[in-house]
Amino acid sequence: MTVIVEQPELEVEVVEKKDDVEENELLLDGGFVVPETNSFGQTFRDYNAESERQSSVEQFYRTNHINQTYDFVKKMREEYGVLNRVEMSIWECCELLNEFVDESDPDLDEPQIEHLLQTAEAIRKDYPNEDWLHLTGLIHDLGKVLLHPSFGALPQWAVVGDTFPVGCAFDESVVHHKYFKENPDYNNPAYNTKFGVYSEGCGLNNVLMSWGHDDYMYLVAKENKSTLPSAGLFIIRYHSFYALHRAGAYEHLMNEEDVENLKWLKIFNKYDLYSKSKVRIDVEEVKPYYLSLIKKYFPEKLKW
Ligand SMILES: O[C@H]1[C@H](O)[C@@H](O)[C@H](O)[C@@H](O)[C@H]1O
Ligand SMILES: [Fe+2]
Ligand SMILES: [Fe+2]
């Protein structure tokens, strides 16, 4: 049986700068006001700025870059792709994330559930009609449950942080690129050329990405037959792929569908990144709305 899922239309709107917006804030499409500083008062994603998190974030990336090899990713995809660990609903999973703080994130030290709700609510304000995008905001980081003991308590380097393809050369634009020199694939001629094991336009679906919460959550959504549109699944799967959506690297691996979906990912990224703040959302107040979306796009219980 073929299920045809309607693709959302992308309307690009140019928004005039409002008078009441302060000079140091940037207005982007959708009307979202991008703050200049993160919850520590520093510029976003500045991996070299001296801050209380700088050195631990750098250590995080060192371990991540050394250990994310082609063989490691293959093994993890096989092991976790079978989804035989836990049965639970999407909301139960959101609650599980309450106890984790992401060690790779220079901008936020709040529990993850705060970040999920902040992202979803910020999108909802600017794109009230795209309910699939609100839900995508809510669930995009749920793959971080891999940190939980019932998922084997994976180390942070195998769960969070920016992602990148394995099986071809690591692009210079990947954060803390220098640490790849200690990755065994770095000197492997099968994996260290521009295309490596891939070919021009092969499509990201055929590219192995470093293992973490993105690809895992994509597998969960797909295997449990979520009816989210392909742009939603794409966002979940590649939202940490900053080398692509920020720096434009690896475009030679994309196919036409990727090019379309990337437009939505770029929109999504602003909300994912810039909604990080100390502003608290009242969980109980927004919960009924998100439960209704979960019901629309997911089965009651999912295999994880
Ligand atoms: O530190 C962050 C965090 O782990 C996010 O969830 C991930 O999507 C980002 O790409 C990463 O840089
Ligand atoms: Fe993420
Ligand atoms: Fe996120």
| Cβ–ligand 1 contact at 119 (below 6 Å) | no
Q: Which two tokens stand for residue 220?
A: 């969960």
SS3 123: helix
- State how far the Cα of 33 lies from the Cα of 273, in Å rounded to an integer: 12
pLDDT tens-place values along the chain, 304 residues long:
444 445 687 765 434 333 443 433 444 456 677 887 887 788 899 999 888 889 999 999 999 999 999 999 999 999 999 999 999 999 999 999 988 999 999 998 888 888 999 999 999 999 999 999 999 999 999 999 999 999 999 999 999 999 999 999 999 999 999 999 999 999 999 999 999 999 999 999 999 999 999 999 999 999 999 999 999 999 999 999 999 999 999 999 999 999 999 999 999 999 999 888 778 899 999 999 999 999 999 999 999 9
Q: Which atom of ligand 1 is the closest one to the Cα of 107?
A: 1
Domain extents in the chain: 52-303
Contact 21, 35 (CB under 8 A): no
- State how far the Cα of 5 lies from the Cα of 229, in Å rounded to an integer: 6
Between the CA of 20 and the centroid of ligand 1 the distance, in Å, is 31
- State how far the Cα of 152 lies from the Cα of 137, in Å rounded to an integer: 25
Q: How many CA atoms lie within 13 A of 74 on its CB side?
A: 5
Reported as a single tens digit per residue, the pLDDT across 183-214 is 999 999 999 999 999 999 999 999 999 999 99
Residue 29: per-residue pLDDT: 54
| Cβ–ligand 1 contact at 162 (below 6 Å) | yes
What are the residue ranges of helices labelled H in the chain? 54-67, 70-81, 90-96, 112-126, 131-139, 213-223, 230-238, 242-245, 256-274, 283-297
Contact 169, 196 (CB under 8 A): yes
pTM: 0.91
- Tell me which of 56, 65, 160 to substitute to probe ligand 1's pocket, judged by most ligand atoms within 8 Å of the beta carbon: 160
- Tell me which of 61, 105, 147, 235 to substitute to probe ligand 1's pocket, judged by most ligand atoms within 8 Å of the beta carbon: 105
Q: Which residues contact 63 (CB under 8 A, 6 or more apart)?
A: 155, 157
Residue 279: per-residue pLDDT: 81
- State how far the Cα of 232 lies from the Cα of 154, in Å rounded to an integer: 25
Report the 10 Å Cβ neighbour count for 303. Answer: 14
- State how far the Cα of 280 lies from the Cα of 284, in Å rounded to an integer: 12
Could you say which DSSP state residue 210 is in? Answer: P
Q: Which atom of ligand 1 is the closest one to the Cα of 239?
A: 8
From the CA of 157, the nearest ligand is: 1
- State how far the Cα of 100 lies from the Cα of 111, in Å rounded to an integer: 5
Which ipTM value was assigned to this complex? 0.96
Cα angle 268, 83, 292 (rounded to 5 degrees) comes to 50
SS3 21: coil
From the CA of 115, the nearest ligand is: 3
Residue 297: per-residue pLDDT: 98
- State how far the Cα of 44 lies from the Cα of 273, in Å rounded to an integer: 8
